[in-house]
Structure 1
């Protein structure tokens, strides 16, 4: 199930969309490594992602989108100042914690009322969200405690047939995205 984003035919896009709606997982290139994701509101997919990564359930996950408007249905309405700040900052390898609507606990983790969101600097990651017309969970593509996958081959080796892999090159970012509290401006990572 390895596909390159720009070469996804209309039929392949429909199949990938159906795969995600059934609770399937997706691996795709991001700024610093391959990301592993699913639909952010699909509880069974979130459970599968946590299980397959062997990730602690208390850790929240990042959700990426092609634009701020794509992320807004998950968030409480941001103030004009916050929306202007996000518009000026994104796309970038900067994740902001923002007040969110009621979402699955596995997605929010310890942050009961906030969600980590980003419009990535990586064009391919934004394209995947735009093509599928949905935001996606974006956690590093690796089993907990292992090094994140940097290539399609590594993603395939770690997760094989368990995920749909969209091929492509990762960006030049050496470390994961910064995480900033969108209300206080405090950098958390």
Structure 2
């Protein structure tokens, strides 16, 4: 990790929060440790397909607040959530349109974030007051294991200070991020790139809000079928 003028004690504390994990076959004991942190309102930095992200209990007002503080994120920016299966959409969204079901069937798990109308119970911070919620079923084995280990959706925002580049390695993480997190799962370098493709399924036809990992041609082809 870059020096960032850390004191010796700070460097030791940062290193003690970082645990190596196999990117394809994460140790269940490590995942259980991370799950325990999430269940008690803590934050875990995890590897995803393109960047490292920050997981917290998306249904906990306090945990969501911690994510905003960790990232120094403007309240006008929503935070997407990660789920372990489509059953978790119940209670998160008002409706699941047929076209959304097509996209989920063909392109989940993976680099597709779908934007739904959020249920009334969702913390307005997550949606930045828009009443729309971005949701993804992740494909990376480590984050898949992590979301499968808890009974609630988790935040999936990138592990960087707001406005700064995302991190593809843990040694790129800003010390302020690591200091406020409770655990860092280090699976080595991830591929980087544009991140997930974001599609708003609340309108007809669905609209691509951000081009990313999944080509627009794949989205359109799926919607036509």
TM-score > 0.5, shorter chain as reference: yes
Q: Separation in 2 of the partners of 1:96 and 1:31?
A: 17
> Aligned pair in 2 of structure 1 residues 121, 8: CA closer, same or farther (>3 Å)?
closer
Deviation by residue 1:96-151 (Cα, 9 ceiling, x = unmatched): 10122121111111422x21001123232222111234321011100112211211
What is the aligned length? 186
**DSSP 3-state at the match of 2:91:** helix
Map of 1:132 onto structure 2: 150
State the 1:44 CA deviation: 1.0
**Number of the residue aligned with 2:125:** 106
* Larger RCO of the pair (alpha carbons < 8 Å, separation 6+): 1
Separation (CA, whole Å) in 2 of partners of 1:99 and 1:140: 22
**Between Structure 1 and Structure 2, whose CA radius of gyration is higher?**
2
- Aligned match for 1:180, one of 175, 199, 209: 199
Matched position secondary structure for 2:185: strand
Structure 1 counterpart of 2:11: none
C-alpha distance in 2 between matches for 1:144 and 1:90: 27
1:76 aligns with 2:97: no
Q: Which ranges in structure 1 are unaligned for 5 or more consecutive residues?
A: none
State the TM-score, normalizing by the size of structure 1. Answer: 0.86
CA distance in 1, matches of 2:176, 2:28: 23
